A and B are shown apart, each in its own frame.
Chain A
Amino acid sequence: MKLKDTIHRDLYKHLFIVALVLLCVYSSARVTGAELADVFNNLDQMGLFLQRFLSPDWSYIPKIIEPMLKTIKMSVVGTTLGVVFAVPFAFLATTVVTRNFFVTTIIRFLMSIVRTIPNLLLAALFVAMFGIGEFTGVLTIAVFTFGMVSQLVYEAIETIDHGPIEAAESVGATKMQIAFWSIAPQISHQIASYSLYAFEVNIRASTILGYVGAGGIGVILNSSLSLMRYDRVSIIILAILVVVITIDWISEIIRKRLV
Protein backbone atom coordinates (compact mmCIF):
# COMPACT_ATOMS: atom_id res chain seq x y z
CA MET A 1 0.00 0.00 0.00
CA LYS A 2 1.34 3.38 -0.96
CA LEU A 3 0.97 6.61 0.92
CA LYS A 4 -1.60 7.97 -1.53
CA ASP A 5 -3.81 4.94 -0.96
CA THR A 6 -4.27 5.78 2.69
CA ILE A 7 -5.04 9.27 3.88
CA HIS A 8 -4.09 11.06 0.67
CA ARG A 9 -6.52 9.41 -1.69
CA ASP A 10 -8.58 12.54 -2.35
CA LEU A 11 -5.74 14.98 -1.89
CA TYR A 12 -7.05 17.74 -4.19
CA LYS A 13 -10.57 17.54 -2.83
CA HIS A 14 -9.23 17.75 0.72
CA LEU A 15 -6.94 20.66 -0.15
CA PHE A 16 -9.92 22.47 -1.67
CA ILE A 17 -11.98 21.93 1.49
CA VAL A 18 -9.12 23.14 3.68
CA ALA A 19 -8.73 26.25 1.51
CA LEU A 20 -12.47 26.88 1.74
CA VAL A 21 -12.43 26.56 5.54
CA LEU A 22 -9.41 28.87 5.79
CA LEU A 23 -11.22 31.43 3.64
CA CYS A 24 -14.23 31.22 5.98
CA VAL A 25 -11.96 31.60 9.01
CA TYR A 26 -10.29 34.65 7.46
CA SER A 27 -13.56 36.32 6.56
CA SER A 28 -15.15 35.65 9.95
CA ALA A 29 -12.03 37.00 11.66
CA ARG A 30 -12.41 40.15 9.56
CA VAL A 31 -16.14 40.49 10.28
CA THR A 32 -15.80 39.97 14.01
CA GLY A 33 -12.73 42.21 14.33
CA ALA A 34 -10.75 39.46 16.01
CA GLU A 35 -7.49 40.81 17.41
CA LEU A 36 -5.35 38.30 19.22
CA ALA A 37 -3.22 41.10 20.64
CA ASP A 38 -6.24 42.32 22.61
CA VAL A 39 -6.23 39.09 24.57
CA PHE A 40 -2.62 39.42 25.63
CA ASN A 41 -2.78 43.16 26.23
CA ASN A 42 -5.58 42.63 28.72
CA LEU A 43 -4.16 39.67 30.57
CA ASP A 44 -3.86 41.79 33.72
CA GLN A 45 -7.65 42.29 33.63
CA MET A 46 -7.99 38.53 33.48
CA GLY A 47 -5.53 38.19 36.34
CA LEU A 48 -7.50 40.64 38.44
CA PHE A 49 -10.69 38.77 37.73
CA LEU A 50 -9.14 35.42 38.57
CA GLN A 51 -7.60 36.77 41.73
CA ARG A 52 -10.95 37.89 43.08
CA PHE A 53 -12.66 34.89 41.61
CA LEU A 54 -10.38 32.44 43.38
CA SER A 55 -11.15 33.81 46.82
CA PRO A 56 -14.80 32.77 47.15
CA ASP A 57 -17.02 34.38 49.75
CA TRP A 58 -17.98 31.25 51.70
CA SER A 59 -20.28 33.16 54.02
CA TYR A 60 -22.62 33.74 51.08
CA ILE A 61 -23.58 30.05 50.87
CA PRO A 62 -26.72 30.21 53.06
CA LYS A 63 -28.12 32.95 50.81
CA ILE A 64 -27.88 30.88 47.63
CA ILE A 65 -29.61 27.75 48.89
CA GLU A 66 -33.09 29.19 48.51
CA PRO A 67 -32.67 30.45 44.89
CA MET A 68 -30.89 27.22 43.98
CA LEU A 69 -33.85 25.18 45.23
CA LYS A 70 -36.14 27.49 43.28
CA THR A 71 -34.10 26.80 40.15
CA ILE A 72 -34.45 23.05 40.64
CA LYS A 73 -38.18 23.36 41.26
CA MET A 74 -38.55 25.49 38.12
CA SER A 75 -36.74 22.82 36.12
CA VAL A 76 -38.89 20.02 37.56
CA VAL A 77 -42.17 21.77 36.78
CA GLY A 78 -40.99 23.07 33.41
CA THR A 79 -39.70 19.67 32.32
CA THR A 80 -42.94 17.98 33.41
CA LEU A 81 -45.11 20.46 31.53
CA GLY A 82 -42.90 20.23 28.46
CA VAL A 83 -42.96 16.42 28.40
CA VAL A 84 -46.73 16.29 28.96
CA PHE A 85 -47.27 18.44 25.87
CA ALA A 86 -44.44 16.92 23.85
CA VAL A 87 -45.63 13.30 23.89
CA PRO A 88 -49.02 13.74 22.16
CA PHE A 89 -47.47 16.05 19.58
CA ALA A 90 -44.68 13.56 18.96
CA PHE A 91 -47.34 10.94 18.18
CA LEU A 92 -48.89 13.31 15.68
CA ALA A 93 -45.49 13.94 14.10
CA THR A 94 -45.06 10.43 12.74
CA THR A 95 -46.87 8.83 9.83
CA VAL A 96 -46.78 5.60 11.85
CA VAL A 97 -49.63 7.00 13.94
CA THR A 98 -51.39 9.55 11.77
CA ARG A 99 -51.11 7.81 8.37
CA ASN A 100 -51.36 11.33 7.08
CA PHE A 101 -48.35 12.92 5.45
CA PHE A 102 -49.90 16.38 5.50
CA VAL A 103 -50.59 16.54 9.26
CA THR A 104 -47.14 15.12 10.05
CA THR A 105 -45.34 17.70 7.93
CA ILE A 106 -47.20 20.63 9.50
CA ILE A 107 -46.63 19.37 13.06
CA ARG A 108 -42.94 18.75 12.40
CA PHE A 109 -42.54 22.19 10.88
CA LEU A 110 -44.12 23.82 13.96
CA MET A 111 -41.89 21.76 16.26
CA SER A 112 -38.74 22.72 14.43
CA ILE A 113 -39.68 26.41 14.67
CA VAL A 114 -40.07 26.02 18.43
CA ARG A 115 -36.68 24.30 18.58
CA THR A 116 -34.80 26.98 16.69
CA ILE A 117 -35.50 29.84 19.12
CA PRO A 118 -32.56 30.10 21.56
CA ASN A 119 -33.93 29.62 25.07
CA LEU A 120 -32.45 32.80 26.51
CA LEU A 121 -34.21 34.86 23.84
CA LEU A 122 -37.41 32.97 24.58
CA ALA A 123 -36.97 33.83 28.25
CA ALA A 124 -36.40 37.51 27.41
CA LEU A 125 -39.53 37.50 25.28
CA PHE A 126 -41.60 35.83 28.00
CA VAL A 127 -40.27 38.22 30.64
CA ALA A 128 -41.49 41.11 28.52
CA MET A 129 -44.86 39.42 28.07
CA PHE A 130 -45.53 37.98 31.53
CA GLY A 131 -43.23 39.96 33.76
CA ILE A 132 -40.22 39.05 35.86
CA GLY A 133 -40.44 35.90 37.95
CA GLU A 134 -40.30 32.16 38.31
CA PHE A 135 -43.46 31.46 36.39
CA THR A 136 -41.81 32.91 33.29
CA GLY A 137 -38.84 30.60 33.84
CA VAL A 138 -41.16 27.61 34.08
CA LEU A 139 -42.85 28.58 30.81
CA THR A 140 -39.52 29.02 29.03
CA ILE A 141 -38.26 25.65 30.24
CA ALA A 142 -41.55 24.03 29.25
CA VAL A 143 -41.39 25.38 25.69
CA PHE A 144 -37.72 24.48 25.41
CA THR A 145 -38.36 20.94 26.71
CA PHE A 146 -41.27 20.58 24.34
CA GLY A 147 -39.02 21.26 21.35
CA MET A 148 -36.28 18.94 22.55
CA VAL A 149 -38.34 15.97 23.79
CA SER A 150 -40.92 15.93 20.99
CA GLN A 151 -38.16 15.45 18.43
CA LEU A 152 -36.47 12.67 20.41
CA VAL A 153 -39.78 10.89 20.98
CA TYR A 154 -40.96 10.97 17.38
CA GLU A 155 -37.59 9.68 16.26
CA ALA A 156 -38.04 6.85 18.80
CA ILE A 157 -41.54 6.09 17.48
CA GLU A 158 -40.16 5.73 13.98
CA THR A 159 -37.83 2.93 15.03
CA ILE A 160 -40.39 0.75 16.84
CA ASP A 161 -41.54 -2.73 15.91
CA HIS A 162 -44.57 -2.55 13.61
CA GLY A 163 -45.85 -6.01 14.54
CA PRO A 164 -48.10 -4.94 17.43
CA ILE A 165 -49.55 -2.11 15.32
CA GLU A 166 -50.50 -4.49 12.52
CA ALA A 167 -51.93 -6.95 15.02
CA ALA A 168 -54.08 -4.26 16.64
CA GLU A 169 -55.13 -2.92 13.25
CA SER A 170 -56.18 -6.30 11.98
CA VAL A 171 -58.66 -6.69 14.83
CA GLY A 172 -60.09 -3.23 14.13
CA ALA A 173 -58.41 -0.96 16.67
CA THR A 174 -58.83 2.80 16.25
CA LYS A 175 -55.83 5.11 15.89
CA MET A 176 -56.18 6.16 19.51
CA GLN A 177 -56.16 2.54 20.64
CA ILE A 178 -53.13 1.79 18.51
CA ALA A 179 -51.26 4.75 19.99
CA PHE A 180 -52.11 3.65 23.52
CA TRP A 181 -51.72 -0.11 23.34
CA SER A 182 -49.30 -0.79 20.49
CA ILE A 183 -46.93 2.19 20.48
CA ALA A 184 -46.84 3.70 23.96
CA PRO A 185 -45.65 0.52 25.76
CA GLN A 186 -42.75 0.23 23.32
CA ILE A 187 -41.44 3.74 23.90
CA SER A 188 -42.35 4.41 27.55
CA HIS A 189 -38.82 3.60 28.71
CA GLN A 190 -37.35 5.93 26.13
CA ILE A 191 -39.75 8.70 27.11
CA ALA A 192 -38.65 8.36 30.75
CA SER A 193 -35.00 8.38 29.76
CA TYR A 194 -35.42 11.43 27.47
CA SER A 195 -37.31 13.27 30.19
CA LEU A 196 -34.40 12.76 32.56
CA TYR A 197 -31.98 13.90 29.88
CA ALA A 198 -34.12 16.99 29.29
CA PHE A 199 -34.14 17.62 33.02
CA GLU A 200 -30.32 17.57 33.07
CA VAL A 201 -30.15 20.01 30.17
CA ASN A 202 -32.79 22.20 31.81
CA ILE A 203 -30.91 22.42 35.10
CA ARG A 204 -27.94 23.81 33.19
CA ALA A 205 -30.09 26.17 31.17
CA SER A 206 -32.25 27.37 34.06
CA THR A 207 -29.23 28.53 36.03
CA ILE A 208 -28.75 31.35 33.52
CA LEU A 209 -32.39 32.05 32.67
CA GLY A 210 -32.52 34.30 35.71
CA TYR A 211 -30.07 36.54 33.93
CA VAL A 212 -32.92 38.03 31.92
CA GLY A 213 -35.31 37.97 34.88
CA ALA A 214 -36.82 34.50 34.72
CA GLY A 215 -36.22 33.61 38.36
CA GLY A 216 -33.88 31.29 40.22
CA ILE A 217 -30.15 31.39 40.83
CA GLY A 218 -29.48 33.40 37.66
CA VAL A 219 -31.02 36.48 39.26
CA ILE A 220 -28.37 36.67 41.97
CA LEU A 221 -25.68 35.66 39.47
CA ASN A 222 -26.67 38.69 37.44
CA SER A 223 -26.74 41.05 40.41
CA SER A 224 -23.39 39.79 41.76
CA LEU A 225 -21.84 40.20 38.32
CA SER A 226 -23.10 43.73 37.90
CA LEU A 227 -21.84 44.61 41.39
CA MET A 228 -18.49 43.07 40.39
CA ARG A 229 -18.64 40.83 43.45
CA TYR A 230 -16.59 38.11 41.80
CA ASP A 231 -16.06 36.36 45.13
CA ARG A 232 -19.81 35.78 45.17
CA VAL A 233 -19.94 34.94 41.48
CA SER A 234 -17.44 32.18 42.05
CA ILE A 235 -19.43 30.68 44.92
CA ILE A 236 -22.61 30.79 42.82
CA ILE A 237 -20.87 29.09 39.91
CA LEU A 238 -19.45 26.53 42.29
CA ALA A 239 -22.95 25.84 43.61
CA ILE A 240 -24.27 25.49 40.05
CA LEU A 241 -21.44 23.10 39.31
CA VAL A 242 -22.19 20.94 42.36
CA VAL A 243 -25.91 20.79 41.57
CA VAL A 244 -25.35 20.02 37.89
CA ILE A 245 -22.87 17.25 38.67
CA THR A 246 -25.10 15.73 41.36
CA ILE A 247 -28.17 15.74 39.12
CA ASP A 248 -26.19 14.32 36.19
CA TRP A 249 -24.95 11.56 38.45
CA ILE A 250 -28.39 10.68 39.86
CA SER A 251 -30.07 10.71 36.48
CA GLU A 252 -27.26 8.62 35.01
CA ILE A 253 -27.95 5.96 37.64
CA ILE A 254 -31.69 6.03 37.02
CA ARG A 255 -31.24 5.95 33.26
CA LYS A 256 -28.94 2.94 33.50
CA ARG A 257 -31.58 1.10 35.50
CA LEU A 258 -34.27 2.05 32.97
CA VAL A 259 -32.48 0.53 30.01
Chain B
Amino acid sequence: MSINRKLKSYLPIIVVLAIILYSAAGIDYSEAGNMSFDMVKSVFSGLFHPDWAYVYDGSGEDLLSLLLLTIGIAFLGTVIATVLALPLTFISAHNLWKSNTIVSKIGKFICNVLRAFPELVYAIIFVKMVGPGPFAGVLAIGVHQIGMLGKLYTEEIESMDEAPVESMTAVGANFWQTMFYARLPQLIPTFLSLALNHFEIAVRSAATLGLVGAGGIGAPMIFAIQSRAWDKVGIILFGIIITVFLIDAGTGYLRKKLQ
Protein backbone atom coordinates (compact mmCIF):
# COMPACT_ATOMS: atom_id res chain seq x y z
CA MET B 1 0.00 0.00 0.00
CA SER B 2 2.56 2.56 1.09
CA ILE B 3 5.00 1.45 -1.57
CA ASN B 4 2.26 1.78 -4.13
CA ARG B 5 1.41 5.29 -3.00
CA LYS B 6 5.05 6.31 -2.99
CA LEU B 7 5.40 4.99 -6.50
CA LYS B 8 2.36 6.95 -7.55
CA SER B 9 3.73 10.25 -6.27
CA TYR B 10 7.13 9.66 -7.82
CA LEU B 11 5.83 8.37 -11.13
CA PRO B 12 5.28 11.79 -12.78
CA ILE B 13 8.77 12.90 -11.79
CA ILE B 14 10.27 9.71 -13.19
CA VAL B 15 8.34 10.10 -16.43
CA VAL B 16 9.44 13.72 -16.84
CA LEU B 17 13.06 12.83 -16.12
CA ALA B 18 12.87 9.99 -18.62
CA ILE B 19 11.51 12.33 -21.30
CA ILE B 20 14.24 14.87 -20.58
CA LEU B 21 17.01 12.26 -20.70
CA TYR B 22 15.61 10.72 -23.87
CA SER B 23 15.48 14.13 -25.54
CA ALA B 24 18.93 15.09 -24.34
CA ALA B 25 20.30 11.88 -25.81
CA GLY B 26 18.65 12.56 -29.16
CA ILE B 27 20.39 15.84 -29.85
CA ASP B 28 23.39 16.22 -32.03
CA TYR B 29 26.08 17.99 -30.03
CA SER B 30 28.80 17.70 -32.62
CA GLU B 31 28.86 21.39 -33.48
CA ALA B 32 29.53 22.28 -29.86
CA GLY B 33 33.06 21.03 -30.48
CA ASN B 34 33.53 23.47 -33.38
CA MET B 35 33.34 26.41 -31.07
CA SER B 36 36.70 28.01 -30.76
CA PHE B 37 37.76 30.18 -27.90
CA ASP B 38 39.17 32.85 -30.23
CA MET B 39 35.82 33.18 -31.99
CA VAL B 40 33.94 33.72 -28.75
CA LYS B 41 36.60 36.18 -27.62
CA SER B 42 36.27 38.22 -30.80
CA VAL B 43 32.49 38.17 -30.52
CA PHE B 44 32.56 39.47 -26.99
CA SER B 45 35.23 42.06 -27.65
CA GLY B 46 33.07 43.32 -30.54
CA LEU B 47 29.91 43.31 -28.48
CA PHE B 48 31.57 45.33 -25.75
CA HIS B 49 33.20 47.80 -28.14
CA PRO B 50 30.19 48.91 -30.16
CA ASP B 51 30.61 50.92 -33.35
CA TRP B 52 29.32 54.30 -32.13
CA ALA B 53 29.63 55.86 -35.58
CA TYR B 54 26.64 53.81 -36.73
CA VAL B 55 24.23 55.45 -34.25
CA TYR B 56 23.47 58.43 -36.44
CA ASP B 57 24.99 59.43 -39.75
CA GLY B 58 22.04 61.18 -41.37
CA SER B 59 21.75 58.69 -44.23
CA GLY B 60 18.45 57.21 -43.04
CA GLU B 61 20.20 53.83 -42.86
CA ASP B 62 21.60 54.41 -39.39
CA LEU B 63 20.61 52.88 -36.08
CA LEU B 64 18.30 55.64 -34.85
CA SER B 65 16.22 55.93 -38.01
CA LEU B 66 15.93 52.15 -38.34
CA LEU B 67 14.86 51.78 -34.72
CA LEU B 68 12.26 54.49 -35.27
CA LEU B 69 11.11 52.61 -38.36
CA THR B 70 10.89 49.40 -36.31
CA ILE B 71 8.72 51.12 -33.71
CA GLY B 72 6.60 52.54 -36.54
CA ILE B 73 6.08 49.06 -38.01
CA ALA B 74 5.09 47.66 -34.63
CA PHE B 75 2.77 50.57 -33.87
CA LEU B 76 0.93 50.57 -37.18
CA GLY B 77 0.67 46.77 -37.11
CA THR B 78 -0.79 46.81 -33.61
CA VAL B 79 -3.26 49.57 -34.51
CA ILE B 80 -4.45 47.66 -37.58
CA ALA B 81 -4.78 44.50 -35.48
CA THR B 82 -6.62 46.26 -32.65
CA VAL B 83 -9.14 47.79 -35.04
CA LEU B 84 -9.72 44.61 -37.05
CA ALA B 85 -9.78 42.34 -34.00
CA LEU B 86 -12.83 44.12 -32.58
CA PRO B 87 -15.41 42.93 -35.14
CA LEU B 88 -13.90 39.44 -35.04
CA THR B 89 -14.21 39.46 -31.26
CA PHE B 90 -17.90 40.33 -31.42
CA ILE B 91 -18.37 37.42 -33.78
CA SER B 92 -16.47 34.92 -31.64
CA ALA B 93 -17.80 35.77 -28.16
CA HIS B 94 -20.33 33.08 -27.35
CA ASN B 95 -22.30 35.16 -24.87
CA LEU B 96 -23.30 37.58 -27.66
CA TRP B 97 -24.63 34.76 -29.84
CA LYS B 98 -26.71 32.71 -27.48
CA SER B 99 -29.23 31.79 -30.13
CA ASN B 100 -26.65 31.01 -32.84
CA THR B 101 -23.79 29.10 -31.28
CA ILE B 102 -22.28 28.24 -34.65
CA VAL B 103 -21.33 31.91 -35.30
CA SER B 104 -19.01 32.12 -32.31
CA LYS B 105 -17.40 28.82 -33.29
CA ILE B 106 -16.62 30.16 -36.75
CA GLY B 107 -15.16 33.33 -35.22
CA LYS B 108 -12.92 31.34 -32.88
CA PHE B 109 -11.79 29.13 -35.73
CA ILE B 110 -10.73 32.20 -37.76
CA CYS B 111 -8.77 33.49 -34.76
CA ASN B 112 -7.03 30.14 -34.31
CA VAL B 113 -6.06 29.90 -37.97
CA LEU B 114 -4.71 33.47 -38.01
CA ARG B 115 -2.70 32.75 -34.88
CA ALA B 116 -1.34 29.44 -36.08
CA PHE B 117 1.10 30.86 -38.64
CA PRO B 118 4.31 32.25 -37.22
CA GLU B 119 4.78 35.96 -37.91
CA LEU B 120 7.83 35.14 -39.98
CA VAL B 121 5.72 33.15 -42.43
CA TYR B 122 3.29 36.04 -42.82
CA ALA B 123 6.25 38.32 -43.40
CA ILE B 124 7.50 36.04 -46.19
CA ILE B 125 4.06 35.98 -47.82
CA PHE B 126 3.62 39.75 -47.62
CA VAL B 127 7.12 40.42 -48.89
CA LYS B 128 6.04 38.53 -52.00
CA MET B 129 2.76 40.46 -52.18
CA VAL B 130 3.75 44.08 -51.59
CA GLY B 131 7.46 43.81 -52.17
CA PRO B 132 10.25 43.94 -49.60
CA GLY B 133 10.02 46.83 -47.19
CA PRO B 134 8.55 47.96 -43.92
CA PHE B 135 4.95 47.77 -45.16
CA ALA B 136 5.23 43.98 -45.47
CA GLY B 137 6.29 43.93 -41.82
CA VAL B 138 3.29 46.06 -40.85
CA LEU B 139 0.92 43.66 -42.58
CA ALA B 140 2.61 40.59 -41.09
CA ILE B 141 2.37 41.92 -37.55
CA GLY B 142 -1.15 43.22 -38.16
CA VAL B 143 -2.57 39.95 -39.48
CA HIS B 144 -0.84 37.79 -36.88
CA GLN B 145 -2.00 39.99 -34.02
CA ILE B 146 -5.62 40.00 -35.19
CA GLY B 147 -5.66 36.35 -34.16
CA MET B 148 -3.80 36.97 -30.89
CA LEU B 149 -5.83 39.98 -29.82
CA GLY B 150 -9.05 38.43 -31.12
CA LYS B 151 -8.57 35.46 -28.81
CA LEU B 152 -7.69 37.54 -25.76
CA TYR B 153 -10.51 40.04 -26.34
CA THR B 154 -12.99 37.17 -26.75
CA GLU B 155 -11.89 35.62 -23.47
CA GLU B 156 -12.31 39.03 -21.87
CA ILE B 157 -15.88 39.44 -23.16
CA GLU B 158 -16.83 35.91 -22.20
CA SER B 159 -15.60 36.29 -18.64
CA MET B 160 -17.03 39.78 -18.10
CA ASP B 161 -19.58 40.67 -15.46
CA GLU B 162 -23.02 40.20 -17.02
CA ALA B 163 -24.94 41.87 -14.18
CA PRO B 164 -25.01 45.40 -15.71
CA VAL B 165 -26.11 43.95 -19.05
CA GLU B 166 -28.91 42.01 -17.41
CA SER B 167 -30.15 44.98 -15.42
CA MET B 168 -30.18 47.12 -18.57
CA THR B 169 -32.05 44.47 -20.53
CA ALA B 170 -34.51 44.20 -17.65
CA VAL B 171 -35.45 47.87 -18.05
CA GLY B 172 -35.80 47.50 -21.81
CA ALA B 173 -32.42 48.38 -23.33
CA ASN B 174 -31.69 46.91 -26.76
CA PHE B 175 -28.50 45.15 -27.90
CA TRP B 176 -26.63 48.32 -28.96
CA GLN B 177 -27.56 50.20 -25.81
CA THR B 178 -26.23 47.41 -23.61
CA MET B 179 -23.15 47.26 -25.83
CA PHE B 180 -22.29 50.94 -25.42
CA TYR B 181 -23.37 51.55 -21.84
CA ALA B 182 -22.76 48.21 -20.11
CA ARG B 183 -20.21 46.20 -22.08
CA LEU B 184 -17.77 48.67 -23.61
CA PRO B 185 -17.15 50.79 -20.48
CA GLN B 186 -16.17 47.57 -18.74
CA LEU B 187 -14.06 46.26 -21.59
CA ILE B 188 -12.20 49.28 -22.96
CA PRO B 189 -9.53 49.58 -20.23
CA THR B 190 -8.68 45.87 -20.53
CA PHE B 191 -8.68 46.01 -24.32
CA LEU B 192 -6.34 48.98 -24.31
CA SER B 193 -4.09 47.28 -21.80
CA LEU B 194 -3.89 44.16 -23.97
CA ALA B 195 -3.22 46.28 -27.06
CA LEU B 196 -0.35 48.01 -25.27
CA ASN B 197 1.06 44.67 -24.19
CA HIS B 198 0.93 43.50 -27.78
CA PHE B 199 2.57 46.68 -29.01
CA GLU B 200 5.49 45.75 -26.78
CA ILE B 201 5.53 42.22 -28.22
CA ALA B 202 5.27 43.65 -31.74
CA VAL B 203 8.37 45.80 -31.22
CA ARG B 204 10.36 42.65 -30.49
CA SER B 205 9.04 40.84 -33.53
CA ALA B 206 9.43 43.88 -35.78
CA ALA B 207 13.09 43.82 -34.83
CA THR B 208 13.37 40.30 -36.27
CA LEU B 209 11.18 40.60 -39.37
CA GLY B 210 14.01 42.30 -41.23
CA LEU B 211 15.56 38.83 -41.52
CA VAL B 212 13.17 38.10 -44.39
CA GLY B 213 13.23 41.58 -45.89
CA ALA B 214 10.25 43.07 -44.11
CA GLY B 215 12.00 46.25 -43.00
CA GLY B 216 13.28 47.44 -39.67
CA ILE B 217 16.51 46.86 -37.80
CA GLY B 218 16.59 43.09 -38.46
CA ALA B 219 18.14 43.33 -41.92
CA PRO B 220 21.32 45.26 -41.00
CA MET B 221 21.58 43.04 -37.91
CA ILE B 222 21.65 39.84 -39.94
CA PHE B 223 24.09 41.34 -42.48
CA ALA B 224 26.37 42.41 -39.66
CA ILE B 225 26.21 38.92 -38.11
CA GLN B 226 26.93 37.23 -41.42
CA SER B 227 29.88 39.48 -42.18
CA ARG B 228 31.10 38.98 -38.59
CA ALA B 229 31.12 42.73 -37.95
CA TRP B 230 30.74 42.22 -34.22
CA ASP B 231 31.15 45.87 -33.31
CA LYS B 232 28.16 46.70 -35.48
CA VAL B 233 26.20 43.76 -34.05
CA GLY B 234 27.06 45.14 -30.62
CA ILE B 235 25.67 48.59 -31.30
CA ILE B 236 22.50 47.22 -32.96
CA LEU B 237 21.88 44.84 -30.06
CA PHE B 238 22.50 47.71 -27.68
CA GLY B 239 19.98 49.83 -29.57
CA ILE B 240 17.35 47.08 -29.60
CA ILE B 241 17.79 46.40 -25.89
CA ILE B 242 17.40 50.07 -25.01
CA THR B 243 14.38 50.48 -27.30
CA VAL B 244 12.59 47.41 -25.95
CA PHE B 245 13.47 48.49 -22.43
CA LEU B 246 11.98 51.95 -22.92
CA ILE B 247 8.86 50.61 -24.64
CA ASP B 248 8.42 48.06 -21.82
CA ALA B 249 8.70 50.78 -19.21
CA GLY B 250 6.38 53.13 -21.12
CA THR B 251 3.63 50.60 -21.78
CA GLY B 252 4.00 49.24 -18.24
CA TYR B 253 3.38 52.73 -16.87
CA LEU B 254 0.36 53.29 -19.13
CA ARG B 255 -1.09 49.88 -18.26
CA LYS B 256 -0.81 50.59 -14.56
CA LYS B 257 -2.68 53.84 -15.07
CA LEU B 258 -5.41 52.02 -17.00
CA GLN B 259 -6.17 49.66 -14.15
A and B: interacting chains: yes
Which B residues lie within 8 Å of A70 (CB)? 26-27
Q: Which residue of A lies closest to B221 (CB)?
A: A121
Nearest CB in chain A to that of B124: its residue? A225
Instruction: Tell whether A132 is near chain B: CB-to-CB under 8 Å.
Output: yes
Q: Are A28 and B75 closer than 8 Å at their CB atoms?
A: yes
Contacts of A130 in B (CB 8 A): 31-32, 34-35
Instruction: Give chain B interface residues in 202-216, CB to chain A under 8 Å.
Output: 204-205, 207-208, 211, 215
Q: Do A77 and B27 touch across chains, with their CB atoms under 8 A apart?
A: yes
Q: Say yes or no: is A259 at the interface (Cβ < 8 Å to chain B).
A: no
For chain B residues 126-167, which have a beta carbon within 8 Å of chain A?
128-131, 133-135, 137-139
Contact with A along B68-93 (1 / 0, CB 8 A): 11011101100100000000000000
Write out the residue numbers on chain B whose beta carbons fall within 8 Å of the beta carbon of A136: 31
Per-residue CB proximity of B154-192 to A under 8 Å, as 1/0?
A: 000000000000000000000000001100110000000
Nearest Cβ on chain B to A239's Cβ, whole angstroms:
11
Known contacts A25-B76, A133-B30, A45 near B128 by CB under 8 Å: yes
Known: A7-B184, A116-B241, A118-B204. A32 touches B72 (CB 8 A): yes
Q: Are B28 and A135 in contact (CB under 8 A)?
A: yes
Indicate if B233 sits at the interface (CB-CB under 8 A): yes
Flag if B23 contacts A76 (CB, 8 Å). Answer: yes
Known interface pairs A28-B76, A34-B138, A116-B248; A45-B120 also in contact (CB < 8 Å)? no
B103 to chain A, nearest CB (A): 22
| B24: Cβ under 8 A from any A Cβ | yes
Q: How long is the Cα–Cα vector from A241 to B241 in the complex, in angstroms?
A: 31
**CB-defined interface of A88-125 with B at 8 Å, one 1/0 digit per residue?**
00000000000000000000000011001110110011
CB distance A73 to B118 under 8 Å? no
Complex CA gap A233/B116 in Å reads: 13
Complex formed: what's the CA distance from A139 to B130 in Å? 35
Chain B interface size range: 35 or more
User: B189 CB to closest chain A CB, in angstroms?
Assistant: 12
Partner of A131, one of B31, B71, B137, B184: B31
A residues within 8 A CB of B71?
A: 28
Whether the Cβ atoms of A38 and B121 lie closer than 8 Å is no
CA A118 – CA B206 in complex, angstroms?
9
B79–A25 CB distance below 8 A: yes
B64 at the interface (CB under 8 A from A): no
Contact B20 A125 (CB under 8 A): no
Residues of the A chain whose Cβ atoms lie less than 8 Å from the Cβ of B233: 125
Q: Which residue of B lies closest to A254 (CB)?
A: B12
A211 in contact with B218 (CB, 8 Å) = no
**Chain B residues whose CB sits within 8 angstroms of the CB of A207 once the complex forms:** 118
- Cross-chain contact of B26 among A73, A131, A208 (Cβ < 8 A): A73
Cα-based distance from A116 to B203 in the complex (angstroms): 10
B43 sits at the interface (CB 8 A):
yes
- CB contacts (< 8 Å) of A74 on chain B: these are 23, 27
Interface string of A210-224 (1 = CB under 8 A from B): 011001000001000
Contacts of B22 in A (CB 8 A): 73
Knowing A31-B69, A135-B29, A225-B124, say if A124 contacts B24 (CB, 8 Å): no
Given A25-B75, A77-B20, A241-B116, answer yes or no on A135-B240 (Cβ-Cβ < 8 Å): no
Q: Could you say which residues of chain A place their CB within 8 Å of the CB of B184?
A: 7
Asked if A54 is an interface residue, CB under 8 A from chain B, the answer is no
Q: Mark A63-79, 1 if CB is under 8 A from B, else 0.
A: 00000011011101100
Listed in ascending order, the chain B residues whose CB lies under 8 Å from chain A are 19-20, 22-24, 26-32, 34-35, 39-40, 43, 68-69, 71-73, 75-76, 79, 116-118, 120-121, 124-125, 128-131, 133-135, 137-139, 180-181, 184-185, 204-205, 207-208, 211, 215, 218, 221-222, 225-226, 228, 233, 237, 240-241, 244-245, 248
A-B contact list, 6 entries, CB within 8 Å: A39-B129, A42-B130, A73-B27, A77-B23, A129-B39, A130-B32
